[in-house]
Amino acid sequence: MSRPLSRTAHIDVSIFGLYEGKVREVQRTRFETGNLPLFFSIKLNPAQRGEGELYLRSTLSFPERGVQAVAQQKLIGKNKVVLQMIPKTCYPNCQSPNTR
């Protein structure tokens, strides 16, 4: 069931993998939405899969505001992921340092 947000949100999704012993971002995607949940698909080529585990990090923010909610999760195989965003204590009025 779709639920409207109070305003349009930016959802940034980054995927990280291990390369030569270092964690590196392998893909980043930004979505704009006024409703949750947001359904999306991300495909990685073999080179992006790296040497082992993959992790997903996501943030939700409103334009001209700071990050309102975050999520991190380990990705396993080709399974569907249900990402639970955790609101920050200042939600929905978090401010980024450069908008104060």
Torsion of CA 76, 45, 25, 50, to 10 degrees: 70
- What are the domain boundaries of the chain? 3-94
Length of the chain: 100
Distance CA 28, CA 36 (A): 20
Contacts of residue 72, defined as CB under 8 A and 6 or more positions apart, other chains included, come to 55, 56, 57, 58
pTM for the structure as a whole: 0.82
Nearest to 83 by CA among 52, 47, 50, 41: 41
If one looks up domain 3-94 in CATH, what number appears?
2.60.40.2990
pLDDT tens for the chain, 100 residues long, are 678 888 899 999 999 988 888 889 999 999 999 988 888 888 888 777 777 889 999 999 998 889 999 999 988 776 677 788 899 999 889 998 754 4
